[in-house]
Copies of this chain bind each other. A is one copy, B any other.
Amino acid sequence: MGMLPGLIGFNLRCAHLALFQHFSATVGQEDITAPQFGTLLLIEANPGISQSAIAGALRFDRSTLVQIIDRLEGRDLVVRQVSPKDRRSHALRLTESGFALLEQLKELAISHEDDVAGALSTDERDQLIDLLKKLYSRG
C-alpha cells in the first residue's frame, strides 16, 4: 500500500466513507442525508435561524443551503417564514412532521453512532472526537 496507511488523509477518507455508508443504511432509511440531518438539528436547536447562519455553521455555501431547504420544505418538514427583523432573510422552523421525523432520526442516529463506535471504548471515542476537532479547528 506504499505510504497510504500512514497518512491521516487516507485513514480519514476510509473512515468517512465507511461511516457515510453506514449512515445511509440506517438514518438514510428515511431518505435523509447527513447535511439534511444536520440542518434539521440546527433548526430545532435554533428556531427562526436563517439559511446563511446554517451555511456558516455547517461550512456550506449559501447556494447549497437553498437546495437543502428546498428538499426539506418540499417534504413539508421545514417552513420558510419571512423574518420580522430583516425582510431579506428567512426564519426557518420545523413543521409538526419535521419534529416528528427528527425524533425518529435522532434515535436512528444514536444507534448508528453506537454501532460504528462499537469498536471503541468510551474513552477512545472521546479521544477520537477531540483529535478530530483539533484537526479542523484551526487553519
Contact = CB atoms under 8 A, between A and B. Distances in A.
Number of chain A interface residues as a range? 35 or more
Given A4-B42, A15-B12, A42-B4, A118 B139 contact: yes
Copies in the complex: 2
Contacts of A12: 12, 15-16, 19, 132
A73 B28 CA distance: 37
A139 B18 contact: yes
A121 B98 CA distance: 43
A139 B113 contact: no
Contacts of A132: 8, 11-12, 14-15, 128
Interface of A: 1-20, 22-23, 34, 38, 41-42, 44-45, 57, 59, 106, 109, 112-113, 115-120, 124-125, 127-129, 131-139
Which 4 A-B pairs give the minimum distances between C-beta atoms? A2-B41, A18-B136, A2-B45, A11-B132
